[in-house]
Amino acid sequence: MALTFKHGIHPDYYKELTAAKKIEKALLPKKVAIPLQQHLGAPCQPLVKKGDAVLEGQKIGEANTFVTSPVHSTINGKVKEIEKHPHPVGGKVMSIIIEGDGTQKEWGNGSIGLDIEKITIEEIRAKIKDAGIVGLGGAAFPTVVKLTPPKDKKIDAVILNGCECEPYLTSDHRLMLEEPEKILWGMKAIMKVLNVNDGYIGIEKNKPDAIDALENAKKSIIPNLKIIALETKYPQGAEKMLIKAILNRKVPVGKLPMDVGVVVQNVGTAKAVYDAIKYDKPLIERVVTISGNGINEQKNLMVRIGTSFDDVLNQCGGMKKDSEKLVIMGGPMMGIAQTNLEAPVIKGTSGITVLAGDAIRPSDYKQCIKCGGCVEACPVNLMPYRLTDYARFNRPDEFKAWGGLSCIECGCCSFECPSNRPLVQWLRVGKLRVREAEKGSSK
Amino acid sequence: MTGDIVVISVASMGGIGAALSLFLAYADKKFKVEEDPRIEGVLQILPNSNCGGCGQAGCRMFAEAVLVGKVPITGCVAGGQAVVDGLAKLLGVEAQKANKIVAVVLCHGGEKEALKTGIYKGEKTCVAANFTSGEKACSYSCIGYGDCVEACKWDAMAMNDNGLPVVFHDACIGCGACARACPRFIIEMHPIEHKLFNYCRNKDKGAVARKVCKVSCVACTLCVKDCPQEGGIDMIENLAVLNYEKCLQDTDAPIKRCPTKCLLYGEEEKMTKAFYYASLKKPAA
């Protein structure tokens, strides 16, 4: 019996669409739009002006706070405009629009490996910060913040997250197959920064080839690393679920993994850390899975940050000519629906899923029949059917008292609901109303 | 013996009753909460609808506040002139003119005008739909699922056939519930004297705004030039913003050259409740 957590769901994964497809380099985009906010935390201020020439990898935006992450130009070219541009997370965000000149930089390509003894911890931290690395799993939390725990918090374990439990997405899976050494060297650097000996990699059982690849690679790099095969279940890759499954520790509500002595990083982040240390290469590209039944050719692409969704989809043969399509940034469970394909790929874009026809869920819903399916599915032990009523009828106090704020918006409850009720959407409304009520009362 | 039972029970129950009533009478004196006797009087004048438009938690709170002078007697937006006069008489202060304020929906990009780029299949309320980009390409526009109409307790709003909320100028009492319900802050509360409005909130550049909606403000600055008062209209973030302190609202000159007709004069007062329902009965022209 493989390790796992309680509750959760077993959706159809559709990973076979792209699991065997090698990561290809995407075409060099002619134009990129780099949003000044791609991470959790303070937005960046631009360091360049309209008309400036910029180079690939040049820092073009920075902020002077701790929880933030700089942004870099991803192509050689000229700053065409600094303006509000559609953002995949919604609305418009100040972005730097760069027009490329068609040339690109060659990043170092020597033998794989780091001289880990020689680099100091401060150097590694500085390089990670300068490279603008954020968590590549999707939430885009600045990595250096996770690697700088407060003095009173003792970290004794690092977990690399290779679960990739979202249906359709295979970007982490391919990365583990194709570049296991780089991931492991990145992991070694992370473990050195945190001064930790216990390293784990959690991978769902449905990726046996990735487990083998890492088992083979780890012997010469981190022999004592434990590679843990986890049950294939959604949301196994959620931070708190992963910690529960591997270490059997429970992260209290409102606390961080740091509070139970754990740091979790995505495998993609580890690879980016390696690139930053070895080649001083900032985070300017990432693996994006383009999948779903609405796209003509499913692929795993190495895409430069700032490439528009339109560009990316066109390289995959374009969308099918169905009447109705659903373009999602990320996977179908937690992804964000897009209405404007001018929006760029950002650091947190792990995939673009295009659904069509039957794959799109119908919109009408029926009464709650109190079957308890949502309660059974909820990985954080909430009662979604009850919380959603508090949200709909605007009762923020009860919503909070019943633990609504610890919802991780994984979508299990909506998935399970036989009446097709949009539970997650209401839960988000509930959280918003609690925040509004708290803001109002503190006035 | 039956007589004894009657006597005993009357005496004992009566005795307990008398003792407790004495205690209650004492407690009433001893623990009396001193309250301004005028509160009751004020409450009789107020509408007692607890609409919250004055910014207080309810009519009683307003009554307490007005008696200590924390809020002006014109603070009750729902009551109108009658309440102001009543309060002035009761409190012995000079009568003032009531501030009548009404809600104004500052978006005219309905089904016919706004470009749609998506199909929204989620829960049909504005607050839920606002988590997505919504159906319309304009990210500043009215979402159109009527959270404001739902919030209006005065039957002073309705969704028209163009998918936009309308405020009945005569029925709106200015409580501001609709403005608080709108997740995109399109509804503003304005004194009834204001007649000139820019019915667009799109802060994008003109060319971008024009693409997504027929009645968007394209930041052409013609109205800024045409406003007879210097500084009456400013161009802030690609949007004509009216400076009501300077713009005297006495002429419709600024709207004459507006290319998209997002700037309109005197539109609000046309829309009375009777007018709206009469327009529904007429077949579309």
Instruction: Identify which of B119, B125, B139 has the shortest CB distance to residue A91.
Output: B139
Would you tell me which residues 369-398 of chain A have a C-beta closer than 8 angstroms to some C-beta of chain B? Answer: none
Round to whole Å and give the CA distance between A66 and A43: 11
CA A109 to chain centre: 26
User: In Å, how far is A424's CA from the nearest CA of chain B?
Assistant: 10
- Residues of B within 8 A of A356 (CB-CB) are none
In a mutagenesis test of the B interface, which of A93, A339, A433 is the best target, namely the one with the most B β-carbons within 10 Å?
A339
- Separation of alpha carbons A194 and A251, rounded Å: 19
Per CB-CB distance under 8 Å, the chain A contacts of B137 are 339-340
Q: pLDDT tens across A149-192, in order? A: 888 888 999 999 999 999 999 999 999 999 999 999 999 999 99
- The answer to whether the Cβ–Cβ distance between A428 and B131 falls below 8 Å is yes
Share of residues in chain B with pLDDT > 90 (%)? 31
pLDDT in tens, A102-113: 888 888 777 777
Contact across the interface for A337 and B132, Cβ inside 8 Å: yes
Print the SS3 string covering chain B: CHHHHHHHHHHHHHHHHHHHHHHHHHHHHHCCCCCCCHHHHHHHHCCCCCCCCCCCCCHHHHHHHHHCCCCCHHHCCCCCHHHHHHHHHHHCCCCCCCCCEEEEECCCCCCCCECECCCCCCCCCHHHHCCCCCCECCCCCCCCCCHHHHHCCCCCEEECCCCCEEECCCCCCCCCHHHHHCCCCCEEEEECCCCEEECCCCCCCHHHHHHHECCCCCCCCHHHHHCCCCCCEEEECCEEEECCCCCCCCCCHHHCCCCCCCEEECCHHHCCHHHHHHHHHCCCC
Look up the domain containing B164 and give its range. Answer: 101-279
Same-domain status, B191 and B232:
yes
Residues on chain A touching B117 (C-beta within 8 angstroms)? 339-340
Interface test with A, best of B121, B125, B147, B238 (most A CBs within 10 A): B121
Partner B contacted by A84 (CB < 8 A): yes
For residues B205 and B75, membership in a common domain is answered with no
| Inside any domain, residue B124 | yes
Same domain, B52 and B110: no
The answer to whether the CB atoms of A363 and B121 lie below 8 A apart is yes
Question: Domain for residue B83, yes or no?
Answer: yes
The minimum CA-CA distance between B239 and chain A, rounded to whole Å, is 15
Asked whether the beta carbons of residue A324 and residue B119 sit closer than 8 angstroms, the reply is: yes
Torsion, Cα of A252, A257, A258, A260 (10° steps): 60
Q: Which of A129-133, B56-60, B184-188 has the lowest mean pLDDT?
A: B56-60
pLDDT tens across B188-205, in order?
999 888 889 999 999 888
Is the CB of A425 less than 8 angstroms away from the CB of B127? Answer: no
Q: Which residue of A has its CA nearest to B120?
A: A363
Closest chain B residue by Cα to residue A324: B119
Select from B91, B109, B125 the last residue of a domain: B91
B104 and B90 in contact (C-beta within 8 Å)? no
Query: Taking CB atoms and an 8 Å limit, are A337 and B118 in contact across chains?
Result: yes
Q: Is residue B2 part of a domain?
A: no
Q: Find out whether A25 and A302 touch, Cβ atoms under 8 Å.
A: yes
Min Cα distance A296 → chain B (Å) is: 21
How far apart CA A195 and CA A241 sit, in angstroms, is 24
Are B198 and B236 contained in the same domain? yes
**B159, pLDDT greater than 90:** yes
Cβ separation B122–A338 shorter than 8 A? no
Q: For residue B130, give the CATH number of its domain.
A: 3.30.70.20
* B56 and B186 part of one domain: no
Question: Are B204 and A339 an interchain contact pair (Cβ–Cβ within 8 Å)?
Answer: no
Tokens of B203: 């802060």
Q: How far is A325 from chain B (nearest CA, A)?
A: 9
The nearest CA of chain A is from the CA of B121 a distance in Å of 5
B82 and B114 in a single domain? The answer is: no
Look up the CATH number of the domain holding residue B50.
1.10.15.40
Looking at the structure, do residues B164 and B265 belong to the same domain, yes or no? Answer: yes
> How near does any CA of chain A get to the CA of B155, in Å?
20
Could you report the per-residue pLDDT of B210-240, keeping only the tens digit for each?
999 999 999 998 988 888 888 888 898 889 9
Among partner residues B121, B128, B204, which is closest to A429 by beta-carbon distance?
A: B128
Chain B CB contacts of A337 under 8 Å are 118, 132-133
Task: State how far Cα B18 lies from the chain centre.
Answer: 53
- Residue A411 C-alpha, separation from nearest chain B C-alpha, in angstroms: 14
Q: How many CB atoms lie within 10 A of CB A354?
A: 26
Chain A stretch 164-223, residues whose beta carbon is closer than 8 A to a beta carbon of chain B: none
CB atoms within 10 A of CB B178: 26
Which candidate in A97, A327, A334, A425 is best for mutational testing of the B interface (most B CBs within 10 A)? Answer: A425
The Cα B220–Cα B239 span in angstroms is: 9
Query: Are the C-beta atoms of residues A341 and A347 closer than 8 Å to each other?
Result: no
Q: What is the pLDDT of residue A323?
A: 74
Distance from CA of A188 to the nearest CA of B (A): 39
Domain end among B91, B122, B152: B91
Q: Check whether the bond before A235 is cis (ω within 30° of 0).
A: yes
> How far is the alpha carbon of B266 from chain A, nearest alpha carbon, in Å?
32
In this structure, are residues B202 and B195 in contact, taking their beta carbons and an 8 Å threshold?
A: no
Write out residues in chain A with pLDDT < 50, as ranges.
Answer: 443
Task: At B68, list the tokens.
Answer: 């200590």
The answer to whether residue B10 sits within a structural domain is no
Give SS3 for A327: strand
Q: Same domain, yes or no, for B232 and B135?
A: yes
The rounded mean pLDDT for chain B is 88
Structure confidence by residue, pLDDT tens digits, A128-138: 999 999 999 87
Which secondary structure element, helix H or strand E, spans residue A30, and what is its range? none
Q: Are residues B156 and B231 in the same domain?
A: yes
Length of chain A as a residue count: 443
Does the distance separating the beta carbons of B123 and A426 come in below 8 Å?
Answer: yes
The domains found in chain A, sorted by start residue, are: 113-279 (3.40.50.11540), 373-441 (no CATH)
In this predicted structure, what is the pLDDT of residue B282? Answer: 66
Is the residue at B160 inside a domain?
yes
**Is A91 an interface residue toward B (CB < 8 Å)?**
yes
Which A positions 307-326 lie with beta carbon below 8 A of chain B? 324
* Burial bucket for residue A297 (CB in 10 Å: 0-12, 13-18, 19+): exposed
Task: Tell me the three state secondary structure of residue A343.
Answer: coil
Closest CA to A206 of A232, A175, A169: A232
Residues of B in contact with A83 (CB under 8 A): 205
C-alpha to C-alpha distance for B57 and A61, rounded to whole angstroms:
46
Six-digit token pair at B144? Answer: 């159109």
pLDDT of B134 strictly over 70: yes
Nearest to B251 by CA among B270, B238, B232: B232
Cβ of B205 within 8 Å of Cβ of A83? The answer is yes
Within this chain, do residues B110 and B224 fall inside the same structural domain, yes or no? yes
pLDDT at position B285: 47
How far is A213 from chain B, CA to nearest CA, in Å? 39
CB A345 within 8 A of CB A138: no
Residue A429, chain B, CB below 8 Å: the answer is yes
Chain A hits for B133, CB-CB cut-off 8 Å, are 90-91, 337-340
Query: B107 and B200 share a domain?
Result: yes
Residue B231 lies in a domain: yes
Asked whether residue B244 falls in the same domain as residue B124, the answer is yes
Beta carbons of A257 and A278 less than 8 angstroms apart: no
Are the CB atoms for A416 and A372 separated by under 8 Å?
no
Inter-chain contacts counted by CB atoms under 8 A, chains A and B: 48
Q: Of B91, B126, B153, which one is at a domain's C-terminal end?
A: B91
- Considering only CB atoms, B118 lies closest to which of A339, A422, A426, namely A339
Q: Would the pLDDT of B284 be above 60?
A: no
Write out pLDDT tens, residues B70-125: 888 888 888 888 888 888 888 888 888 887 889 999 999 998 899 988 888 888 89
Residue B209 phi, psi (nearest 5):
-65, -40
* Candidate from A92, A340, A426 with C-beta closest to B117: A340
Query: How many domains does chain B divide into?
Result: 2
